[in-house]
Amino acid sequence: MFYPRAASRGPVPTTVPVEIGNDYKEAVEVLPISPKASAALSRRCLQNMLRAKGYKASDLAKEIDLFLADPRLPLDVQTTVDAIRNFGNFSAHPITDNTSLQIIDVEPHEAEWCLDIIEQLFDHFYVKPAETAAKKAALDAKLAAAGKPLSKG
Protein backbone atom coordinates (compact mmCIF):
# COMPACT_ATOMS: atom_id res chain seq x y z
CA MET A 1 0.00 0.00 0.00
CA PHE A 2 1.28 3.48 -0.87
CA TYR A 3 0.59 6.62 1.11
CA PRO A 4 1.16 10.18 -0.10
CA ARG A 5 4.17 11.92 1.36
CA ALA A 6 3.28 14.87 3.54
CA ALA A 7 5.23 18.08 3.17
CA SER A 8 6.30 19.42 6.56
CA ARG A 9 6.71 23.02 5.44
CA GLY A 10 4.49 25.81 4.25
CA PRO A 11 3.98 26.84 0.65
CA VAL A 12 6.65 28.60 -1.37
CA PRO A 13 6.08 32.37 -1.38
CA THR A 14 4.51 33.56 -4.64
CA THR A 15 7.38 36.01 -5.16
CA VAL A 16 9.91 33.16 -5.54
CA PRO A 17 10.62 32.20 -9.18
CA VAL A 18 8.89 28.95 -10.16
CA GLU A 19 12.04 26.97 -11.01
CA ILE A 20 13.65 27.83 -7.66
CA GLY A 21 10.42 27.05 -5.84
CA ASN A 22 10.16 23.70 -7.59
CA ASP A 23 13.68 22.70 -6.48
CA TYR A 24 12.79 23.69 -2.91
CA LYS A 25 9.53 21.72 -2.96
CA GLU A 26 11.38 18.66 -4.25
CA ALA A 27 14.02 19.06 -1.51
CA VAL A 28 11.19 19.08 1.06
CA GLU A 29 9.50 16.04 -0.49
CA VAL A 30 12.62 13.86 -0.63
CA LEU A 31 13.89 14.75 2.85
CA PRO A 32 12.21 11.78 4.61
CA ILE A 33 13.54 9.42 1.94
CA SER A 34 17.01 10.84 1.37
CA PRO A 35 18.59 13.68 3.35
CA LYS A 36 21.48 13.56 0.84
CA ALA A 37 19.16 14.24 -2.09
CA SER A 38 17.41 16.99 -0.13
CA ALA A 39 20.73 18.70 0.67
CA ALA A 40 21.84 18.43 -2.96
CA LEU A 41 18.59 20.06 -4.10
CA SER A 42 19.01 22.80 -1.48
CA ARG A 43 22.49 23.41 -2.87
CA ARG A 44 21.05 23.68 -6.38
CA CYS A 45 18.36 26.04 -5.10
CA LEU A 46 21.01 28.24 -3.45
CA GLN A 47 23.13 28.37 -6.59
CA ASN A 48 20.15 29.29 -8.78
CA MET A 49 19.14 32.07 -6.37
CA LEU A 50 22.65 33.49 -6.22
CA ARG A 51 23.03 33.45 -9.99
CA ALA A 52 19.60 35.03 -10.49
CA LYS A 53 20.64 37.84 -8.16
CA GLY A 54 23.90 38.48 -10.06
CA TYR A 55 26.40 36.53 -7.94
CA LYS A 56 27.94 34.60 -10.82
CA ALA A 57 31.30 32.84 -10.79
CA SER A 58 32.90 29.62 -12.00
CA ASP A 59 31.55 27.54 -9.08
CA LEU A 60 29.25 27.75 -6.08
CA ALA A 61 32.03 28.36 -3.54
CA LYS A 62 33.12 31.50 -5.44
CA GLU A 63 29.50 32.61 -5.84
CA ILE A 64 29.00 32.28 -2.09
CA ASP A 65 32.18 34.31 -1.52
CA LEU A 66 30.77 37.07 -3.75
CA PHE A 67 27.49 36.97 -1.87
CA LEU A 68 29.16 37.02 1.56
CA ALA A 69 31.25 40.03 0.52
CA ASP A 70 28.07 42.09 0.05
CA PRO A 71 28.06 44.65 2.90
CA ARG A 72 24.23 44.83 2.86
CA LEU A 73 23.94 41.18 3.88
CA PRO A 74 22.25 40.60 7.27
CA LEU A 75 24.45 38.86 9.82
CA ASP A 76 22.04 35.94 10.32
CA VAL A 77 22.19 35.13 6.60
CA GLN A 78 25.94 35.65 6.45
CA THR A 79 26.65 33.16 9.23
CA THR A 80 24.60 30.29 7.80
CA VAL A 81 24.57 30.35 4.00
CA ASP A 82 27.85 28.50 3.51
CA ALA A 83 26.41 25.48 5.36
CA ILE A 84 24.36 24.57 2.28
CA ARG A 85 27.48 24.36 0.14
CA ASN A 86 29.16 22.08 2.67
CA PHE A 87 26.19 19.75 3.14
CA GLY A 88 25.65 19.75 -0.61
CA ASN A 89 29.26 18.67 -1.08
CA PHE A 90 28.77 15.82 1.40
CA SER A 91 25.76 14.69 -0.61
CA ALA A 92 27.34 15.00 -4.05
CA HIS A 93 30.90 13.82 -3.42
CA PRO A 94 32.23 11.00 -1.25
CA ILE A 95 34.06 12.91 1.49
CA THR A 96 35.84 10.84 4.13
CA ASP A 97 36.16 11.64 7.83
CA ASN A 98 39.90 11.76 8.63
CA THR A 99 39.37 10.12 12.02
CA SER A 100 37.01 7.25 11.22
CA LEU A 101 37.83 6.97 7.50
CA GLN A 102 34.09 6.62 6.84
CA ILE A 103 32.19 8.58 4.21
CA ILE A 104 30.41 11.56 5.74
CA ASP A 105 26.65 11.42 5.21
CA VAL A 106 24.13 14.22 5.53
CA GLU A 107 21.99 13.76 8.62
CA PRO A 108 18.26 14.57 8.48
CA HIS A 109 18.63 17.55 10.84
CA GLU A 110 21.38 18.96 8.61
CA ALA A 111 19.18 18.70 5.52
CA GLU A 112 16.39 20.38 7.54
CA TRP A 113 18.80 23.20 8.36
CA CYS A 114 19.52 23.62 4.64
CA LEU A 115 15.79 24.06 4.05
CA ASP A 116 15.62 26.61 6.89
CA ILE A 117 18.41 28.59 5.25
CA ILE A 118 16.69 28.44 1.85
CA GLU A 119 13.54 29.83 3.47
CA GLN A 120 15.64 32.57 5.07
CA LEU A 121 17.02 33.43 1.63
CA PHE A 122 13.50 33.47 0.16
CA ASP A 123 12.72 36.20 2.69
CA HIS A 124 15.95 38.08 1.96
CA PHE A 125 15.77 37.95 -1.84
CA TYR A 126 12.05 37.87 -2.61
CA VAL A 127 9.55 38.31 0.24
CA LYS A 128 10.93 41.36 2.06
CA PRO A 129 11.76 43.33 -1.12
CA ALA A 130 8.24 42.68 -2.45
CA GLU A 131 6.68 43.75 0.86
CA THR A 132 8.80 46.90 0.94
CA ALA A 133 7.91 47.75 -2.68
CA ALA A 134 4.19 47.30 -1.96
CA LYS A 135 4.37 49.53 1.12
CA LYS A 136 6.31 52.19 -0.80
CA ALA A 137 3.80 52.08 -3.66
CA ALA A 138 0.93 52.56 -1.20
CA LEU A 139 2.71 55.50 0.42
CA ASP A 140 3.46 57.07 -2.96
CA ALA A 141 -0.17 56.69 -4.01
CA LYS A 142 -1.26 58.45 -0.83
CA LEU A 143 1.31 61.22 -1.34
CA ALA A 144 0.26 61.65 -4.98
CA ALA A 145 -3.42 61.89 -3.96
CA ALA A 146 -2.48 64.61 -1.48
CA GLY A 147 -0.49 66.49 -4.15
CA LYS A 148 2.77 65.90 -2.34
CA PRO A 149 6.11 64.78 -3.81
CA LEU A 150 6.69 61.01 -3.89
CA SER A 151 8.96 59.33 -1.37
CA LYS A 152 12.65 59.09 -2.15
CA GLY A 153 14.38 55.91 -3.11
Crossing angle of the two packed helices 82-92 and 35-52, in degrees rounded to 10: 130
Question: How far apart, in whole angstroms, are the C-alpha atoms of residue 58 and residue 63?
Answer: 8
Q: What CATH number is associated with residue 52?
A: 1.20.120.330
pLDDT at 84: 77
52 domain-assigned: yes
**CB 36, CB 91: distance < 8 Å:** yes
Nearest to 46 by CA among 129, 96, 114: 114
Region 128-153: mean pLDDT is 92
pLDDT at 81: 86
CA dihedral sign, ordered 52, 112, 77, 69: negative
* Residue 103, beta-bridge partner list: 96
The structure's pTM equals: 0.82
Write down the mean pLDDT value for the chain.
Answer: 85
88 domain-assigned: yes
Q: In whole angstroms, what separates CA 7 from the centre of its chain?
A: 17
- Split into its structural domains, the chain has a count of 1
Q: Which domain holds residue 129?
A: 18-145
pLDDT at 75: 87
Pick the more confident residue, 83 or 140. 140
9 domain-assigned: no
2 domain-assigned: no
pLDDT at 78: 86
Question: How far apart, in whole angstroms, are the C-alpha atoms of residue 92 and residue 94?
Answer: 7
- Condensed to tens digits (0 to 9), the pLDDT of residues 44-101 reads 999 999 999 999 999 888 999 999 999 988 888 888 887 777 776 655 555 555 565 5
Question: How far apart, in whole angstroms, are the C-alpha atoms of residue 78 and residue 60?
Answer: 15
120 domain-assigned: yes
* Residue 96, beta-bridge partner list: 103
138 domain-assigned: yes
104 domain-assigned: yes
Share of the chain above pLDDT 70, in %: 84
- Lowest-confidence segment of 5-9, 14-18, 106-110, 118-122 by average pLDDT: 5-9
33 domain-assigned: yes
